[in-house]
Amino acid sequence: MVRPAHFDMWQRYKIHHDLTAREELISRYAYLVRITAGRVVLNQPATLEWEDVLGAGIVGLIKAVDQFDLDREVKFETYGIALIRGHILEMLREHDFVPRSVRDRLKRVDRAMAELETRLGHPPDEFEIAEELGWPVERYLKTLSESARTTVVSLDEAMLGSDDGDGVPLSDALADPDASVTSSMELDADRTRLAEAIDCLPERERHVLSLYYLDRLTFKDVGQAMGVSESRAFQLHAQAIRRLRKNLKDDAVPRG
């Protein structure tokens, strides 16, 4: 068994039901909420109160502390972050921060991407997409930036979510302590689908995702590493996530 940090405190709570230890654990791991919130909400809409985001994260943290099993071969930090992220995403899905006009433009972008890829036989770049839409490329890039609400979330959300807020983030499923063998096999299949979809992205978009999700760089640092501005790095990320959502949706296999 891997002993978590603060093992004595965990024992006091889990074995002796010491509620003081529970409060101490929540306090000690509260930093995970701010870290996770900062990764989920990349561009805060004016109508989104940061305290609401943190509040949702705290609910996830409390649930993680209460449900964590000391006998499981998993670090609490990994388990806790998954539940915190899941609760923040759930809160965001319950509130639509994207104006209808922006959402309508994003649907046009998605259709243009799909039609161009079928016609050209390769993922279209921003110039081809803008031309297909009949827009100046600057308008297309601005639309990507305005799509912050639908592209701020992690690859987990791209995996199983949708623009309409339906679906379950992969992180939620991974954090489910009651996950069955069958559901675990389905998650492995989802990871394979996601890896294949990423491989189909243009090289620059794969690079952005690698720097952001694997190297854990900020968009400012991603931009510096790629020799582009922070806003351009964000646009490339947004474009990559939209492609992934489209490809994964097209490739989805109904489950019984």
Is the per-residue pLDDT at 115 higher than 80? yes
What average pLDDT does this structure show over 137-158? 68
Is the per-residue pLDDT at 161 higher than 60? no
Distances (CA, A) of 63 to 67, 76, 165, 211: 6, 12, 22, 31
d(CA 158, CA 25): 32
Given the candidates 1.10.1330, 1.10.10, 1.10.260, 1.20.140, the CATH classification of the domain at 100-250 is 1.20.140
Where are the chain's structural domains? 7-94, 100-250
Q: Output the pLDDT for position 98.
A: 67
Question: Cβ distance 1 to 71 under 8 Å?
Answer: yes
Given the candidates 3.40.50.300, 3.90.230.10, 1.10.1740.10, 2.140.10.30, the CATH classification of the domain at 7-94 is 1.10.1740.10
pLDDT-derived band at 164 (thresholds 50, 70, 90) equals very low
C-alpha angle 50-65-32 in degrees, rounded to nearest 5: 40
Helices (H) and strands (E) in the chain, counts: 15, 0
Q: Output the pLDDT for position 120.
A: 93
**pLDDT per position as a tens digit, 48-100:** 788 999 999 999 999 999 999 988 878 899 899 989 988 988 887 777 666 77
CB atoms within 10 A of CB 20: 10
Is the per-residue pLDDT at 104 higher than 50? yes
Same fold, 7-94 and 100-250: no
Distances (CA, A) of 150 to 11, 79, 97, 106: 41, 25, 9, 10
